[in-house]
Every structure is written in C-alpha cells, then in structure tokens.
Amino acid sequence: MSDPAPEKEAGTPPSVEKEAGPPATPETNEPEKKKREYKDFGHEQEAPTHAKVDMSKIELKAEDLYDKEKVDLETIVIDDVFKLLQCDKEGLSQEEAKHRFEVFGPNRLESEEQNPFLQFLSFMWNPLSWVMEAAALVAIALSNGEHRPPDWEDFVGIVLLLFINSAIGFYEERNAGNAVKALMDSLAPKARVRREGKWYEIESAELVPGDIIAFKIGDVVPADCRLTEAINVSIDQAALTGESLPQSKKAGDQCFSGSTCKQGEAEGVVISTGPNTFFGRAASLVGQDDDTTGHLQKILAQIGSFCLVAIGIFVIAEILVLYAGFRYTYRRGLDNILVLLIGGIPIAMPTVLSVTLAVGAQQLAKHKAIVTRITAIEELAGVTILCSDKTGTLTTNKLTIDKSIVRTYGPFSADDVVLLAAYASRTENQDAIDTCVVGSIGDPARARAGITLLDFKPFNPVDKRTEITYREESTGKIKRVTKGMTGIIIELCTRNKTDEVENKLEADVEEFATRGLRALAVAYEEVDGNNPEVEGNGFELIGLLAIFDPPRDDTKQTIDDALALGVKVKMVTGDQLAIAKETGRRLGLGDHMYPAKVLKDGPQPGGKHATLDEMIMDADGFAGVFPEHKYEIVKRLQGLGHLCAMTGDGANDAPALSRANVGIAVEGATDAARGAADIVLTEPGLSTIVHAIRGSRIIFQRMRNYSIYACAVTIRIVVCFGILAFAYKFDFPPFMVLIIALLNDGTIMTLSVDRVLPSNTPDSWDLAEIFAYAVAYGLYLTLSTIVLVVVILQTNFFENNFNATITQKNAGDFQLHMIVYLQVAIISQALIFVTRSHGFFFMERPSVALMGAFCVAQLISSIIAGFANFGFTNIKAISGTWIGIIWVWNIIWFLPLDFVKFGMKATVIKYLRERRQRRIADEVKSAGGEIPLTRTTSRAASVHESMYSNRVSFIRRAARKVGFGGNVKMSGDELRRFSSMQAQQTGLTLARNPSRTQ
C-alpha cells in the first residue's frame, strides 16, 4: 500500500538508475537525512533473540512455552520457534495435534454460564430482603396462636413485593451484555491448516501450537502466529492495537488472532491459542471478576443498614417494653413488631431505583445512547475522569490531507500539488493513502478529469511509490507524476535537487514528524514526444503533503462541554506519541502526554513526579498503549478515588471498557467493545456523551430525592408507632401499613420522570447529609401524628368545634386506627414534594405524572378511610368530617416542612460540609500537599451481580455442587500469569514487530 512513513529505508528502486546522477554533496548527506526524517515514525529495532535457557529443558506445555523468563516465542528467531514447538513446515501429525489439544485446550475463550433459577433466587438474598422474608415468616408461621389463623393477608402482600422486585432485577440482569461472549464470537470460525504435509480446513477451535496455517486477503487470522512465508502481506489489527493503518508484514513477523488480512497471502506457525493469545489475554481481563460490589450496590447497602439499625433499635425496645413491661400476649406483641418490619423496610427501594434508571435509559436512547447496564447511569453522574481512545473515537479513523500546511517547492500551488497527487492515485481498489488523497480533492472524478491515462504503476513494497503517465487533453502533452516515501522521491528528482531544496525538505519532514504528521512527497516531469515509455526531462520535487487522522467535527466542543461539567478528559491511544500530542493540540486537550513505557518504568528520578500515580493524574494522555496498559491506567485512577469512564471502539479497548466504572462504545465499535461497554453510542462522535452525563445527573437527583424520602419514612414509621405503642399501647394493624407502603411505592415510581435540574459538577452520594435530612423529616412527621393522637384522646377539641367523634375514644378504637392510617398516608407521601426541591416546594413544579399519581393515591386512601370495613383487620370507616379534618391538619403541618429543610441546611448540613472540608485539609497537610483520595472499585462484578443485592458466594458454590450450568474456566494461577507477565510484555512485542506506517 502507499506508505508515506515506513520505519526503515529500502534501497533505491531500479527506476532510479535511469536518472541522472545527483550532485556528490547531497548524495553523501542523504543517509543521515533519511535516518532523521523517519525515525519518529518507526519503532526501535531489536535483533532476533534466542531462548534464555537451554531449549532442551523447556517442556511442551503452557507453563514453559509462555514463561517470558525462559523464552519469548514472539521474538526469538524462527528456527528456534520450530525447535521449541517440535514441529516443521510439513505440519504436525494428527496424533500429535490431538495430544497437544489435550495439553493446551481449544483455541477459544470460555465463559461461565449462570443457572437462571439460582440467578433469580439470588435477588432475594440481601439485607433488605432478609428482613421482609423474616416478616413473611412471622406472618405465616409464627402468627399461629391464641385461636387465630395465620396472617395470610400480610404474607401474600410481602411475598408479592419480593417477587416483583426480583422479577425486575432478573430481567435487567439477563439482558445485560456479555463481553466475553462477544469476544468469543469475533474469533475466526474456520482455519486452513497443514498436517502431515496435506492442507485441511478445520474449526479454528481445533488449532494447537505448532500447527502450520495459511490465510489470504479477507481472512481473519485464527491464532497468534509467526509468519514463515509472506507475499505482499498487509494486516489490519486496528481493532486489537489501535493502530490507524493496516500493517505490512514479512516472514518472521507476528500476526495476532482476530486481526484481518487486507492484502496478500501468508503461511505461519501457530505459537499460541485461546487464552494464551494477545486476543485471549484481552478477553481474560474483561472476564476477570474482582469480587467487588458495584457502586450503587454499596450505596444501597449503606442505606439499607441505616434503615435496619433504626428498625432494630425499636424492635428490641418493643420486645422489652411490650412483653416484659406491658405483659403483652404473644400474638399482640407480634403484630406491633410486624408494623415496624413492614413499614420501616424500604423494600421497594431497589425496584423504584430500577424503574428510575430504566426510564432514564429510554430517555438516553433518544440521544442515540443505548444503555446495556442500567446501573451505569448512576455511576456516569459521578464520573470525574473520562479516558478516551483516539483512533475512531476522538478522530474519524479516516486519513486526510491537511491542505493548510502543504509544502511546495516549485511553481505549483498547494491545490495543484494535491490534484497531481490525486492523478498518481488509484480511483478503484484503493488503499488507505490513495483513498485520502483522492478524497481531498472533493469530487473523485477530478482525479481523471482532463487527462488520458497511459500507464499506471501501483504501490509495491520495493519501489514504495506510485506513478502515473498521462496525456493532458488540453495541450496534448505527456506528463508523469509520482508520489510516495520522501527518501525515494527525492532520489528520483534531478531538476531541482539542490542543497537549498533538500535542506528545506528535511526541515519540513522533521516538522511533520514532530507533529505526528505522515509525509508524502510528490514529484513531476514532462515527457517529450508521443511515446509514454521513454524517459522524461527529469523529475522535479513539487510538494510535500501532510497526512493525519483528523478529529471529529464535534469532538472539541464535546471535550469543552465535559470540562465545563467538571469531567477531566485524558487521551489513551495505541498510536504514537507525536501523533497523540498533535491531536491533543488540535482538540485543546493539551499535549502533556507520555509514552506507554512510563507505566512500567515509572517517572524519571529527579523529575517533577514522585510517583506513577502523580504522573497519571497530571498527564493529558498516554500514547503507544495496549490493552493491558489501558486497563492499568483505569485501575490506577480508580485506586486514586475517581469514578472513571472509558470510551473506545476496538477489541483492544474491551478490557478497559470492562474495568471502568462506565464503559462507552462509540458508533461503529466492534462487537467486542460493545459487549464490554455499559453504554453504546449509535451516532458518530462524542457529543452524545455530554447528553448522557447531563441525563445521568438528572436521574441521580431523582434517586437522591427518593433516598431521602425512603429513609425519612423509615424513621417516621418506626419512631411514630414505637412511641404510640409505648405511650398508649396503640396496636396499629399491620395490613394497613402494607397498604400505605403499596400506595406510596406506586406514586414514587413516577419520580422516574420528574422534573429536576442537573448539577454542574460530578454527583456523589453524601450519605451523612441524606441521613441527617431523613432524621429531621422523620421526627417532624412523627410529631404531627403523635400530636393528633394526643389531641383526639386527651381533649375534646374536635368534638366541640367540628362535632367529630370516635366510637370508644381510646387507643384500641378501630376508627382511631383509620384516622392514624389516613394522616400517615397523606403527609408521608406529600413529603416527596419537599425532598425533591432545593427551595420552597412550590417554586419547582413537579411532573404531571408525579402530581397525578399523588392525587390518585390520596383519593384511594380517602375512599378506604371513608368506606373500608375490612373484617380481617382492626379498622373501621370514618366520617367525611374526619377526612376533612385530617386533610386540613396535614396541610397545616406540611407547610413548615420547607423551613425544617432550610434550618437543616443552615445548621447540621453546614456543619457536616465544613467538617468534611476540614478533614480533607488535614489529610492534604499530612500528605505533604497531595490530596489523598479514597479508593473506588470497578464495576466488573456488577456485570454478573445485580444492583438489588450484595449476594454471597455460596449461591455460586451451590450451583456448582448441584451441577447447574457447565463451567469451563482457567485456573487462578493461569489467569494471574496471563494478566501480569504476558501483559507487561505485550507492548514490547509490537515494538519488536513494528507498524510499517507508524
């Protein structure tokens, strides 16, 4: 293919011999110029190595063959490869292949299957569910006694809540993407292999180390191999390594499993299969389960713990007071405890948050962002660092001529140089260089307009240039244009090859190289007469084109918007450092970037960075990185306390996408990247990410509002009914608490579409503030109920003023139970209007859905209060007068709630925030000026674990013991070996088998 920047020079092509010899001085200086011109675009060459130990001591097994301390199959001389693998070019015997298959296993990646039934049951295994399950057991098993039947009504209601919760969670998890499966599916299914001297077509899964394979244009490389024969081979490994262009390969080079042959044909010897391949190591990183719990799961666990502690305190108090103090009967005391268990546990919290996230996912879909893991929405709201791949993500992954910096050396203008270069390009069956050159003139038809093609020499690896001979129709003259590698083109030029031109050319090429731009030289000559095969009057260097992968049109604005939202953007690319810096400058991202080797070597002694973590935080990006490097960068940022998002489009990005708190696959991403990602963009560019960040922060505010509400209701229920039981021996029926919970949860579901404003900074769960607000609201609402009961039982205020009476006027009155039910139901649900607003509740208009649901729920509550006379529970309908009194009473008590909120902000919340700032300042001081950040974990576990539960490992162990599912996996030792030793060497591997275009 047309290659403007190979890593090493070739000899002068035969066509040069016909040219007049150049002056002596330029000839003498040329080698030094070439070395400087192209050094930046190559990789350091290392001589082939040999095994580091006696090869006779290396056994044919994975532990030895893939131990880098003993031997490196990827770089040793090809003869040693055959010796180590005990094979030859005729291939293995069928018996030996079968034996090696048993030793090394199949050439595919395996994943663990989950049993659906146990997966469903696992959603009922978490602290919140435990309490509700205990309450169900109390209602059905422990409620027998005193000649009363079990409490079937409460039991059915509790079980219904549990199953609804589990069903939603199960559905969400079963539809989540499986990154390992996507990586498996992208492996080549068939392979051509030579065994016993004959060629066969077999399943690629049957390949073993030592097999001789063949592939040609269009084939997917089925396993990591070393080439034994290569005829004009070009391999596209962008999806694996992030390199922009297909890479030329020669005999002895390595090809990676999963890459695609774009040109030529080759034979090679397989050196690694399945999980041992470059591709397999990426898959093992994606599939690693670090046994951590997802971010939202931890928040839910802490909120659940708060509720459990509050409930536990009052349950213990009731057991002591009611049984020991008041000598309650067994069943009577049990009913009071059930009230606290059913009313205090926010069992619907996971369901409400699930609906909120699911609706949010639908809203994000309108912005062309498909959410594959809904809990990622919550984590996206708190993301502080966005790590972005360059090729295909920040840039278009389509090479372009930068017309603004075209260098000219003759009478031709920049536009003329580009047009002549297009003449010297193919218009059909184009390679990447020809495509970008022809595309730069706008209309591809101009590449042949006004000329008659007489002869065309396409690019080949020897000449390293293209050449066209054509007749100009307007003048009838025959002309010739060539374009290609700078060193080759300048050797052809005889008419203007002066010291001045060569010095200028050298300076221009060096400038391009420094900026990460690929140089493409163009030369021109005229041919006398009408014979297109004769020599011309001598080539003249007319221009130098700069080729680069341009940023997407909206990328700069997207990065600016992300920074405005408090999200720092870091570029993490497999491309070269100079190219990364140039892209960073064009995007306003900065050019403070480092090569990947610093991730292994660390900062230089005496430099401004004392540790690698400091360097990673300070960097604008990293270049020349590979899957394990990206994974390590994300892991370290998380270790510094950041919630990290990663964007990418190739299989090489999959491990980091999986490790990140939020993985984002851009439009056109490979199946592997989409499978590893949490959010998949279906529209080009990154602008959708800004919409997703804003949308996620809206959703976060909705979840925070609900969390305050849920915790407040817990305090309100347990404290209120606990005090009433202690003060008046008040026996509230458990079934009515269940009704309150059902109506509240139905209304609160509409929070998923509520109107809220997103924050301009990353969100985080400040649980101390949430709990402080909850306690204040809960105690205030408790006071409203207790005062009402006191006024009813201790005074005649309502009888005298409203002629409202109850039957017995004592704590056991069934009508009093109904009054308390209606008062608690109305004002508890109205609390959401206070928690959802930052100022006065009437200043922030709620959604129509929320307001409508509240009105319907309270209408139902009022109807129940006025007409319900359930025989199975201790309630009795009340008059319309009482219903009106309760509504007015609640309105009077509701209005000051905003002042409770403002008072909390001015006192307790202010104190908590100042205390947090003082703590951070003390930590900074003790750390010598560096901010010590708390550790965050990846969300890898939450691919397989639901937001609804912090499930314990015995669920999985039970599945294995009873034989559910077929589990095929690597041992822990192998996983550690593949992800550490092999991972550290992968970058060096590609450096020793360099790109021909980088």
Please report, as a single letter, which amino acid is at residue 581.
Answer: K
Closest CA to 375 of 391, 392, 394, 356: 356
H/E/C letters for each residue in 107-159? Answer: CCCCCCCCCHHHHHHHCCCCHHHHHHHHHHHHHHHHCCECCECCCHHHHHHHH
**Cβ atoms of residues 833 and 891 within 8 Å:** no
User: Residue 881 is inside which H or E element, if any?
Assistant: helix 880-894
Exposure string (b/e) for 872-895, b if CB count within 10 Å is 16 or more? ebbbebbbeebbebbbebbeebbe
Nearest Cα residue to 73 out of 103, 97, 44, 52: 52
Spatial distance between the Cα atoms of 506 and 731, rounded to a whole number of angstroms: 93
Please report, to the nearest 10 degrees, the dihedral formed by the alpha carbons of residues 94, 99, 100, 106 taken in order: 90
Radius of gyration, alpha carbons of the chain: 36
For every residue of 814-879, DSSP letters joined together read HHHHHHHHHHHHHHHHHTHHHHT-SS-GGGSPPPHHHHHHHHHHHHHHHHHHHH---TTTT-----
Q: At what angle do helices 734-748 and 848-867 cross, to 10 degrees?
A: 160
Any idea how long the chain is? 998
CA 703 to chain centre: 21
Residue 826 in tokens: 């109305």
Tokens at 711, concatenated: 């915790």
Element (H, E) at 381: helix 375-381
| Angstrom distance (rounded) from CA 434 to CA 419 | 12
Q: 356: which residues sit within 8 A by CB, 6+ positions away?
A: 699, 702, 703, 706, 751, 752
Q: Choose among 331, 280, 439: nearest CA to 978.
A: 280
Query: In this structure, which amino acid lies at residue 283?
Result: A
Residue carrying structure tokens 């011309």: 536
Task: Give the residue carrying structure tokens 């192998």.
Answer: 974
- Give the Cβ contact number of residue 635 at 10 Å: 18
d(CA 1, CA 204): 29
CA atoms within 13 A on the CB side of 906: 7
Separation of alpha carbons 531 and 698, rounded Å:
73
Q: Which of 46, 221, 219, 249 is nearest to 997 (CA)?
A: 249
Q: List, by residue number, the catalytic residues.
A: 389
Sequence-distant (≥ 6) Cβ neighbours of residue 954 within 8 angstroms: none
Closest Cα to residue 832, out of 811, 853, 812, 814? 853
d(CA 13, CA 460): 11
Rounded to whole angstroms, the Cα distance separating 868 from 804 reads 18
CB 788 within 8 A of CB 741: no
Strand, helix or coil at 925? helix
Q: Which two tokens stand for residue 458?
A: 């396409």
Within the chain, what is the greatest distance between any pair of CA atoms? 123
